[in-house]
Structure 1
Amino acid sequence: MIDKIVATPAEALADIRDGATVMIGGFGTAGQPNELIDALIETGAKDLVIVNNNAGNGDTGLAALLAKKRVRKIICSFPRQADSHHFDALYRAGEIELELVPQGNLAERIRAAGAGIGGFFTPTGYGTELAKGKETREINGKMYVLESPIHADFALIKAEKGDRWGNLTYRMTARNFGPIMAMAAKTTIATVHEIAELGSIDPETVVTPGLFVQRVVKIDRVATSAGGFKRA
């Protein structure tokens, strides 16, 4: 019987080792799998390569991982926000490497890894420092830059609902990079707020098929002071 549900984030991340490349879903804090990031911190793994849209916000989630100095390199589109003080301090001190990637290129490089594409040409970045050292080519009178796929050892993503086979659905903008990251990693670990009975999710609504998911962890919603729930 296929059952990909694991009891805790700690159990789900127990095999992450030093030097791993880890994709972490989220657009800012929307869809960021904070419970998995906390568990990643607890593993003690270091020298990590992190792939994310941002470089941490405030003091929680990805920012907390950076603050622990566990990240050797980050590949992202928006490394600086008003509250990205942990990344800023590390970068200015020369303690973290940054690979800056335009957001569309980042998404396509991740998608290309999952689709088995060896590389692709894009006009984005041509003529800038971001194209330095990369192959360029003129196609139909327009200049393009060759970009390579981004593969990962692990993808940590947040979904809304999943079943024991790993089929996932998402809630609104929390979806963001999750589906393509799940395809680009050797091992995908997803948190969900609801475990559905097998067969109860309409196949037409499945966004990430269980084929791309290895572990599912149920996480309770966090109650707010107003009696509602924090939903990202």
Structure 2
Amino acid sequence: MPADLLFEIGCEEIPAKMLARALVELPGLVESRLAAARITHPAGVRVLGTPRRLAVIVKQLADRQPDLHDEIVGPPASAAFAADGSLTRAGQGFAAKNGVEPSALVKREVAGKKGLYVVATRSVVGLATRGLLSELLTDVARSIAWPKSQRWGWGEAAFVRPVQWLVALLGGEVVPLRWAGITGGRHSRGHRFLANRPIEIASADDYVDALRAAHVVVDPLVRRDLVSAELVRLER
């Protein structure tokens, strides 16, 4: 059944302008990776962040890819089949390239083309979403376009600042994930002065409230409104 996804990257402090750019870029990155992986979700991508974290929440992520059934048009039948009905090298190459058995190739008229063409019907069983997320999420993390990035320690990963923790949850379960020398789990961190300790996150639904209890307002819009309200109060 569908489940909510939470992915948080915790790091050393991100400069304000770079953080603002990343918050704008992240939804498109996540949407494009999910679309490429054929993982559907009915709602949009919610992006949250503070100077020490970037987080993504995707509601109602499908539990698996839909099965894929498609037809691939190949070369003209005259080029794919010899006079005796056997496959030519062109026909064999077309079958191998598309992962279908030669016996599955058929001759068919194709709209907009003259004569018969070879057509392959391909069926691919959808994979479980959970097994696709490790690579997908690390790809998202690697693909954020920072004006400047760093490498640290002995690792190959590059990011705007050294990564300190990763949270990756699908529903209430941890997504197996390792990137930048860090293993993903369910522990974020609280405010660095008021609650600088691991904060356990049960699920995406728990994330905002769990961090608020640890003195972190992770939604930038809520944080802006709180600052504005405090300024108004001080002016009175």
Q: Same fold (TM over 0.5)?
A: no
Q: Which has the larger radius of gyration?
A: 2
Normalised-by-shorter TM-score class: under 0.3
TM-score of the two chains, using structure 2 as the length reference: 0.25
TM-score of the two chains, using structure 1 as the length reference: 0.25
